[in-house]
Amino acid sequence: MAAQKTGEERLLAQRQEKLQNLRDSGWAYPNDFCRDHTAGELIQAHSERSADELKTMAVEVALAGRLMSRRVMGKTTFAHVQDSTGKIQLMINRERLGEDAYADFKTYDIGDIVAACGTLVKTRTGELSIAVVELRMLSKSLRPLPEKFHGLTDIEQRYRQRHVDLIMNATSREVFMRRGQLLSGMRRYLESQGFLEVETPMMHPIAGGAVARPFVTHHNVLHQDLYLRVAPELYLKRLVVGGFDRVFEINRSFRNEGVSSRHNPEFTMLELYQAYARYQDLMELTETLLRQMAEEILGSTIVSYQGSDYDLSQPFARITMREAVLAHHSGLSEEDLNNRELLAGLCRDCGVEVSEERGFGWLIFDLFEGSVEETLDQPTFITQYPLEVSPLARRNDEAPEWVDRFELFVAGRELANGFSELNDPQDQAERFRAQAQKRDAGDAEAMYYDADYIRALEYGMPPTAGIGIGIDRLVMFFCDAPSIRDVLLFPHMRPQAQDSD
């Protein structure tokens, strides 16, 4: 005896049957409808008009969208259709539409894509509506939409079925519209400052540009292993050598590392380089860019994130890493930062594993990351990083064991990383050799020696500063999103068993 069908299986079968009826009649999936308005356009242009004004104007419209609701009121049915710009009500009257067309409409399901032609009216409740004179099915929805799709209990399903999340959740749609606005705005701003947008390779023969574990792939014809880029830095700086003084790339990068609320294996960065500039110049650029983006996208320089307000109109704080560590650990002195045993103990207290290879610079950096970083709530530039953790940055002239580097922290997380670039090819070669030794000793995140990049530097790179800004984290900040998965259309997820159908 065949197993009894579940409720969902019965709904799927009913919709399949309706689709077959459409196929039999020759009306399945037509492609000859052209709309002349969107819901958003109509609402913006006519929502404030009175019923009498609309009657006089006799605005005729042709609109299409997804059927999201329906309620019957005697001989008239009210329904809402949704397109990418919003929702609008349809007023479907049996006499106006015709008996046969109205009977067909009664077979439609929530989720179907429909086309409606008619005139704009205001209902008795004052809602802008389309008095429908023609209604057509454009695409049959074979799967029913969930009644309550968003919420904590369904959050993983939202990520796995983003298409359904976007149908049901206006907040999700707003996040990704805002993300697009942010990218467009950043491009406009940088182009207004004389920067040229470029594209560099995503597959590299040598993994470089950041201290990170790469993904490895293989080119069959060339018999060559290639690495998905961890950063575009070394290619962009080749362009500065070639004479492009201001370049930027909004790029996808890949790091074969952990997944968390702040990390995804593939992510988006803005990376830019400016010749004849110092890292202080790019700190100013970063402040101005974020302030302008907030004004454009939010209409205010005050950003509300996870219950706190951040006023980007105020100058960002600027302190060195050493100052930040000393301020957080009130018992420490400048002399203590030269006591390796003391630093190692403090790092262990923060849950950081300490190896014998860690020098003073690494330990100070580990202590900062383990105890200070998460406390940096309001926008703060941390400057002067240890040389040991910055293999591509220029040494500080007064203290060569430190480099001219900064990171921007907001709400306890890093948003940007920049520095004055190392343009001395001999110094860079020495640092590459040191990184290669670490890799040979088992450090999977250490860089390779990149002879081609050294050769490029030997042609001469002007004094340059560069910066990388994490787009995903910036969108999180502007959209009040607690997790990076909320701002990625299709975040990386652990494998899930697939349904047999």
- Nearest alpha-carbon partner for 179 in 497, 460, 471: 471
Q: What is the DSSP string of 317-366?
A: EEEEHHHHHHHHSTT--TGGGG-HHHHHHHHHHTT----TT--HHHHHHH
The b-or-e profile of 386-403 (16+ CB within 10 A means b, else e) is bbbbbbbbbbbeeeeebb
- 3-class DSSP state of 205: coil
Tens of pLDDT, residues 161-203: 999 999 999 999 999 999 999 999 999 999 999 999 999 999 9
> Binning pLDDT at 50, 70 and 90, where does residue 367 land?
very high
What local confidence, expressed as pLDDT, does residue 488 receive? 96
Is 418:282 a contact under the CB 8 Å cutoff? yes
Is 138:29 a contact under the CB 8 Å cutoff? yes
Tens of pLDDT, residues 417-452: 999 999 999 999 999 999 999 888 888 888 889 999
Is 473:484 a contact under the CB 8 Å cutoff? yes
- By CB atoms closer than 10 A (0-12, 13-18, 19+), residue 248 is buried
- Strands 76-83 and 246-254, by their bridges, are unpaired
Tens of pLDDT, residues 233-257: 999 999 999 999 999 999 999 999 8
CA–CA distances in Å: residue 448 to residues 201, 204, 290, 437, 444: 17, 12, 34, 9, 10
Task: Please list, in sequence order, all residues whose beta carbon lies within 8 angstroms of the beta carbon of residue 108, skipping any fewer than 6 positions away.
Answer: 67, 70, 114, 137
The dihedral through the CA atoms of 97, 102, 104, 108 has a sign that is: positive
What local confidence, expressed as pLDDT, does residue 354 receive? 87
Per the DSSP assignment, residues forming a β-bridge with 413 are: 410
Task: Please list, in sequence order, all residues whose beta carbon lies within 8 angstroms of the beta carbon of residue 217, skipping any fewer than 6 positions away.
Answer: 203, 225, 226, 227, 228
- Nearest alpha-carbon partner for 196 in 310, 113, 272: 272
Distance from C-alpha of 451 to C-alpha of 443, rounded to nearest angstrom = 20
Mean pLDDT of 208-224: 91
Mean pLDDT of 329-353: 90
Which CB contacts under 8 angstroms, 24+ apart, belong to 372-378?
Answer: 372/324, 372/325, 372/328, 373/409, 373/412, 373/413, 373/414, 374/412, 374/413, 375/328, 375/412, 376/324, 376/409, 376/410, 376/412, 377/308, 377/410, 377/411, 377/412, 378/310, 378/317, 378/410
pLDDT surpassing 80 at residue 153: no
- Indicate the average pLDDT of the chain: 93
Mean pLDDT of 6-10: 85
- SS in 3 state form for 68-135? EEEEEECCEEEEEEEECCEEEEEEEEHHHHCHHHHHHHCCCCCCCEEEEEEEEEECCCCCEEEEEEEE
Mean pLDDT of 341-354: 90
pLDDT surpassing 70 at residue 56: yes
> Binning pLDDT at 50, 70 and 90, where does residue 497 land?
low
Neighbours of 116 (CB within 10 A): 26
Is 364:337 a contact under the CB 8 Å cutoff? yes
What local confidence, expressed as pLDDT, does residue 299 receive? 97
Mean pLDDT of 17-31: 95
Please report the domains of the chain, with CATH numbers, ordered by start residue. 9-139 (2.40.50.140), 167-316+379-487 (3.30.930.10)
Distance from C-alpha of 498 to C-alpha of 142, rounded to nearest angstrom = 18
Tens of pLDDT, residues 96-113: 999 999 999 999 999 999
Rg of the chain over all Cα atoms, to the nearest angstrom: 29
Distance from C-alpha of 236 to C-alpha of 246, rounded to nearest angstrom = 10
Token duo for residue 147: 């009644």
What local confidence, expressed as pLDDT, does residue 148 receive? 55
